[in-house]
Amino acid sequence: MKNPAPLLLSALLLGSGLAFAETTTQTTVTTTTAPASAAAPDLSDPAGLLAKANALAVSARASKSRNIDDVVWKQAAAAAELAVQAAPGSPDALKLRAQVYSDVGFWKAAETSWDAYLKVVPGDQAAMKTAALAQYNLGYAAYARGDLGSAPAPFTKCLALDPSNADCALWGGRVALEGGQFAQAVTLYQQAAQLRPQDKVAAYFLGVSQNAGKYGPAATTAFSRAYQNYDAGRKQDALGGYKAATAAAPNFIEAWREQGRVALELDDAASAKVAYDAAVALPGATASDKYNQGVAAEGAQVGLAAVKSFRDAYSKYTAGNKAAAEAGFLASTAAAPGYAKAWSWLGRARYEQKNYPGAAEAYAQAVKLDPSDKSAAYYLKLAQAGK
């Protein structure tokens, strides 16, 4: 998000749009002269000032810049301010000023400028949508800097201006959730889900909000921030956040589930096992939780790389692609030479392709690693006999 640099701009906008006055200090002069006061701007031609401001705005938009500190935008903003000074009730001047500030992401100035315009033209739906965008950015900026006290108001105002703004409903819900306003969070996420029926994030956090009362603000805030970190690619930070959520609320099954998922992605089998063991022990555990618990448990023993290769190979095997399955089982044994189950399934894939010598080799290794594997021992004899 652009830094609006209000201090630089305000010097230009205070009076007239004239160039900055230069000041110098001379140590060799013993007398002082009072600086000349800036001439008052000529506001006698509102139409001309508006035309000039429009021309400067067009020129600024034609540039690649969208930075208020660049000369073209300073000039456009200063000219728009003069046009408003010359005709304070002019809808065209007020709208131009507001649009210039929106164009460069100078959101606070955009807010006050759109407010002024909408007082004069309250029914302009397109302007209300653009004004809502300024509110969204103000709200998100407050959330990003951790100011949950200031963040709700802009999102509320955004939705008042544009009830169809799903982003404001989503982030307003996020702020309400982290602020412990669970009922409000549910309402806002319901609104977001209605506006975007296919948005999985809205549906996901609606469910989290509906259950948030069980977990408390500390856990839900940690969970929400962890989700944001994961979305931004900061998986290690996300894992830490999910751990904080489960520490604050050990009954938070979704936090355990996400903790386990991220841990698996980070090849942290130990953390994944702790997470999925906890999730499976809670009401609401799913078949996927139990499956991933098995992955984590095996990963803690033989390494996640080997387990992932094995599971992928098994999927190929069940789909009927035995050649690809064989390659996957072989990769699994290469990643973990002590992985008896992978050797046994490698033998099976080879046996079913009538590669009896290869099957016998794999089954022999499986039996060596796990003498209790009766199935491997049986098929080892068949493979050795070539039948």
Domain locations in the chain? 306-385
CB atoms within 10 A of CB 22: 5
Long-range CB contact pairs, 133-139, < 8 A, 24+: 133/102, 133/158, 133/165, 134/101, 134/102, 134/107, 134/110, 135/111, 135/161, 135/168, 136/165, 136/167, 136/168, 136/171, 137/1, 137/105, 137/107, 138/107, 138/108, 138/111, 139/168, 139/171, 139/172, 139/175
Q: What is the pLDDT of residue 291?
A: 92
Of the options 2.40.160.20, 2.140.10.10, 1.25.40.10, 3.40.462.40, the CATH number for the domain spanning 306-385: 1.25.40.10
Buried b (16+ CB within 10 A) or exposed e, 273-293: bbbbebbbeeeebeeebeebb
Please list the ranges in the chain whose pLDDT falls under 70.
1-38
Angle at 145 between CA 144 and CA 146, to 5 degrees: 90
Identify the three-state secondary structure at position 196: coil
Q: Which residue has the tokens 């070539």?
A: 386
Q: What is the pLDDT of residue 18?
A: 31
The values of phi and psi at residue 46, to 5°, are -55, -40
What's the rounded Cα separation, in Å, for the pair 76 and 67? 12
